[in-house]
Amino acid sequence: MSRPSIGFTQRIELEWLEWTAQMALAGLPEDEIYAELQNRLRPIVSVGGHDNRSNRGKVVGILLKIWVKTVKELRPFRDEGLALLAQSPASCHLPIHWGMIMATYPFFGTVVDAVGRLLQLQGTVTFAQVGRRVQEKYGERESIHRATQRVFYGLHDWDVLKNTNERTVLTNTELMEINSTTLSSWLIEAAMITIGAQSTPLSTSTKMPVLFPFSMPEPRITSNERLEIFRQGLDSDVIMRAELL
């Protein structure tokens, strides 16, 4: 049985995601975006160069896959994400980048799911605890350890996690409030994609562990043609991904 791939192996800054998305919004062709990212990242990610196997090459590859070279089945989802970026102030772009990363890289979703579950359970989290949960799915490989470490501490860089009085123990920062029901449904779709869920109860959809940094309103499913809502039993509504019906 083959092990799931990682893909998201480098430390990624929000600013780099923003550069990439804004160039995609401007309609620049892929080769120009690639060249511009290489140029901007050269003094920041100095190891390697245009070789896709170098650190900078891997960073550029990750950024492009998220916002530019998006896999075919995710392009409608990506296009709505770009539209949401265009409609939102820069201070509200984190959840949109978060959603695109989750949908593109299930490994990222696995890490943040572990973080979210631990925070719901005990209010704090350590890298060791998250690492153990990720290894249960991906195996005990050094590459898994390094990639998990980069995602975990990247959440601190993004101000999603913060230090506590105990060394190595982190907790979540104040929840980011999302007021848009359209963005809420888009993020729930991202969460379902990353965890491989065909359906999720409407009543708990905004509380999925992978969405732990955000406080969201109940989604407006009618605004998202890729999701459907069904009544289950007498009083329970369920969200389902339309493509899986």
Task: Check which CATH number belongs to the domain holding 123 and give it.
Answer: 1.10.10
Give the rounded distance of the alpha carbon of 107 from its chain centre: 9
| Domain annotation covers residue 157 | yes
Count up the domains in the chain and report the number.
2
**Single residue among 172, 201, 219 that ends a domain in this structure:** 172
Q: Does a structural domain hold residue 163?
A: yes
Which residue among 172, 194, 228 closes a domain? 172
Helix, strand, or coil (residue 189): helix
Question: In angstroms, rounded to a whole number, what is the distance separating the alpha carbons of residues 130 and 62?
Answer: 22
Strand order in the sheet with 169-172: 125-126, 169-172, 161-163
The pLDDT profile of the chain, 245 residues, written as one tens digit per residue, is 445 678 999 999 999 999 999 999 999 999 999 999 999 999 998 665 555 568 899 999 999 999 999 999 999 999 999 999 999 999 999 999 999 999 999 999 999 999 999 999 999 999 999 999 999 999 999 999 999 999 999 999 999 999 999 989 999 999 999 999 999 999 999 999 999 999 999 999 999 999 999 999 988 887 789 999 998 877 889 999 987 65
Whether 198 maps to a domain, the answer reads no
For the stretch 80-99, what's the b/e string if a residue is b when 16 or more beta carbons lie within 10 angstroms of its beta carbon? bbbebbeeeeeebbbbbbbb
The verdict on 55 and 2 lying in the same domain is yes
Which of 67, 147, 159 is closest to 111 using CA atoms? 147
Q: Is 226 exposed, middle or buried (0-12, 13-18, 19+ CB in 10 A)?
A: middle
123, 156, 172 - which closes a domain: 172
Is residue 2 domain-shared with residue 63, that is, in the same domain? yes
Q: Is residue 120 part of a domain?
A: yes
String of DSSP letters for 109-168: HHHHHHHHHHHHHHS-EEHHHHHHHHHHHH-S-HHHHHHHHHHHHHHHHTTSEEE-SSTT
- Domain region containing 131: 106-172
